[in-house]
Amino acid sequence: MSKVPSLPAQVKIVEVGPRDGLQNEKEIIPVEVKVELINRLTAAGFPNIEAASFVSPKWVPQMATSSAVMQQIQRKSGVIYSALVPNMQGLEAALAAQADEVVIFGAASEAFSQKNINCSIAESIERFREVAKLAKAAHLRLRGSISCSFGCPYQGEIKPDAVADVVARMQDLGCDEIDIADTIGVGTARQVQTVFDKVSRQFPIDQLAGHFHDTYGQALANIYAALEVGVSIYHSSVAGLGGCPYAKGATGNVATEDVLYLMQGLGIHTGIDLQMVVDAGQFISQHLGRKAVSRAGNAIAARHVAQS
Ligand code: HMG
Ligand code: MG
């Protein structure tokens, strides 16, 4: 029998629902609902919550209330509340809102970079240079996110070399953590291992994160594949909320409840209370007027109703 690879004993789950999950919602969600969602997620035990995005309100109207949200949430000491920033204007807003971590977001695809942030990959890196310098000077954590690491809605195939090239540039900017993102959920398990193998030759594997959207239903398999090669940071979205406004047809991130259920079954420690996440998922789904897109979340919620 071949040797079974050992998996990490614990993982960090970054909850991205309040940002990636909600940014694509057409109806503007009241600040108090966003605040309650984040407070529930904080109480559930996440070490890191992506809470805000300081981008142009013309590009992503739903995120225009980010300052108010950051001001009103109840913060728990030690929890990292992150915010996306595409440029200096975004960084200034993130500093004023006392974000703990800022996320510069680029892409491994030229076409996606243009659609999402209106500039080439090279221009984005130049734009991020000053952002990164000032973020570091202000003692903020700096994270880099690389969209379309497994495929692009406009360009199609993306070579692992293209991902590795952007990882190197983000490493050079001083990123503490780098997200390898499957924006449109097209990646499959072996491809995930190939890409992480490649990029972890230049950036430490324990500072790389898997950010998987679940459009093709591959996200859990991809997480398992990434666990096998030692990745220990994963992004997920409560109730499977989300989709990128600049990637038509892309669905939400993998649902947090499903990821937690998987981790529980594997005996991998997360420090997060699954039932509280299920309740948070039901809360936001009720507000949005639709069923949560989480298989485990809905099953657990149904079991709870049946037992009460
Ligand atoms: P631009 O139009 O080239 O920017 O957009 P500009 O510098 O020419 O400014 C134009 C206007 O935007 C000006 O206002 C600026 O003040 C304003 P005006 O004078 O016309 O009234 N502006 C801003 N306002 C607020 N905050 C700012 C800001 N910057 C400029 N920070 C820009 C360039 C990058 C701003 C724009 O393209 C943008 O905001 N893009 C964001 C797109 C976005 O948020 N996409 C979703 C997040 S990424 C994602 O979801 C992927 C991820 O999940 C990983 C994955 O799954 O792939 C992370
Ligand atoms: Mg995303």
Give residue 215's pLDDT. 95
Would you say residue 178 has pLDDT above 70? yes
Average pLDDT, the chain: 96
Is residue 211 in contact with ligand 1, taking CB distance under 6 Å?
Answer: yes
Distance 244 CA to ligand 2 centre (A): 6
Distance 55 CA to ligand 1 centre (A): 4
Is residue 124 in contact with ligand 1, taking CB distance under 6 Å?
Answer: no
**Nearest protein CA to atom 56 of ligand 1, as residue:** 183
HSE at residue 9, side-chain half, CA atoms within 13 A, is 0
CA-to-CA distance for 205 and 214, rounded, in angstroms?
22
Per-residue pLDDT reduced to its tens digit, 129-138? 999 999 999 9
Is residue 116 in contact with ligand 1, taking CB distance under 6 Å?
Answer: yes
Per-residue pLDDT reduced to its tens digit, 202-249? 999 999 999 999 999 999 999 999 999 999 999 999 999 986 677 777
Q: Of ligand 1's atoms, which has the minimum distance to the CA of residue 16? A: 53
Q: Give the homologous superfamily in CATH for domain 12-307.
A: Aldolase class I (3.20.20.70)
Residue to substitute in 23, 56, 92 for testing ligand 1 pocket (most ligand atoms within 8 angstroms of CB): 56
Give residue 249's pLDDT. 76
Domain boundaries, the chain: 12-307
Would you say residue 91 has pLDDT above 60? yes
Give residue 1's pLDDT. 53
Q: Please, which residues have CB within 8 angstroms of residue 192's CB and are 6 or more apart in sequence?
A: 150, 182, 210, 222, 225, 226
Q: Please, which residues have CB within 8 angstroms of residue 305's CB and are 6 or more apart in sequence?
A: none
Q: Of ligand 1's atoms, which has the minimum distance to the CA of residue 60? A: 44
Query: Which ligand has the nearest atom to the CA of 103?
Result: 1
| Cα pseudo-dihedral 33, 35, 40, 44, rounded to 10 | 140
Distance 143 CA to ligand 2 centre (A): 14
Distance 54 CA to ligand 1 centre (A): 8
The stretch 161-189 carries a mean pLDDT of 98
Would you say residue 306 has pLDDT above 90? no
Residue of 148, 152, 175, 244 with catalytic role? 244
CA-to-CA distance for 61 and 201, rounded, in angstroms?
39
Is residue 60 in contact with ligand 1, taking CB distance under 6 Å?
Answer: yes
Q: Which two tokens stand for residue 297?
A: 């979340």
Give residue 136's pLDDT. 98
Distance 239 CA to ligand 1 centre (A): 26
Q: Is 244 a catalytic residue?
A: yes
The stretch 73-95 carries a mean pLDDT of 98
Whether this model's pTM surpasses 0.95: yes
In terms of residues, how long is the chain? 308
Would you say residue 285 has pLDDT above 70? yes
Per-residue pLDDT reduced to its tens digit, 19-54? 999 999 999 999 999 999 999 999 999 999 999 999
Give residue 243's pLDDT. 66
According to DSSP, the β-strands at 48-53 and 80-84 are parallel
Looking at per-residue pLDDT, the higher value among 223 and 250 belongs to 223
